[in-house]
Amino acid sequence: MPVGSSDSAPTRISLFDRLRLYSEAALYIGATTSVALGLYFMFRRYHTSADIPDRALKSHTKIRGYVIDVSDGDSLRVYHTPLVRWFEQRPEKKRGLAKYTISVRLSAVDAPEVSHFGKPAQPLSAEAKQLLTDQVLNKRVSIVPLAKDQYGRVVATVTYRSWWFGKTNAAHVMLRQGMASLYTGGNAQYDGEKELLERIQSDAKRAKRGIWGLRNYESPAAYKQKHK
């Protein structure tokens, strides 16, 4: 037998076996990557609305957090607490909220405008702000992001626990109490509830609650157009 020869020829791997090995490796890498990404997003905190990726808007991925501030009857700021960081102590309200909170606008509704930039407040704007404040300020909420508006705010469905097992939609309450009207402007987002929201508003109109009891009601859209 020649020197250096072997009793048996090298094992040859068939094409089928090679494809099977490649497939198993690809599945392993894919599964590992998915787990890593899942853990990343479970721990990652969105500091501002600019941090929320487009894929979260398109998939309407639910975001949880604490309401730190209420600006008016349809705007608030949320301190995001990811699922595995829910125990974190939320910050007290202070200056610089724009740097660490998500600016959120309630979807589907338009509340009376508060006074700003020297413009007068609309009737019941203070009451609308107070109603939203009573609902959500310093409470844990869930927001379902639907879009972003021209100001970079996240337009979202906002819900909170009113009972141990029950959830309340903040926009529903604003409409039901006549402290907001149905938003019908550009990029209106209804989260599949337009007919329900229209019924809620109709009930408030018939009962003349809130803005519907005003003698000369001016919609927020008309007010903003007049005070451009």
Active site residues: 105, 113, 153
Do the strands 154-161 and 102-106 form a parallel or antiparallel pair, or are they unpaired?
A: parallel
CA distance 12 to 18: 10
The alpha carbon dihedral of 204, 208, 209, 213 has a sign of: positive
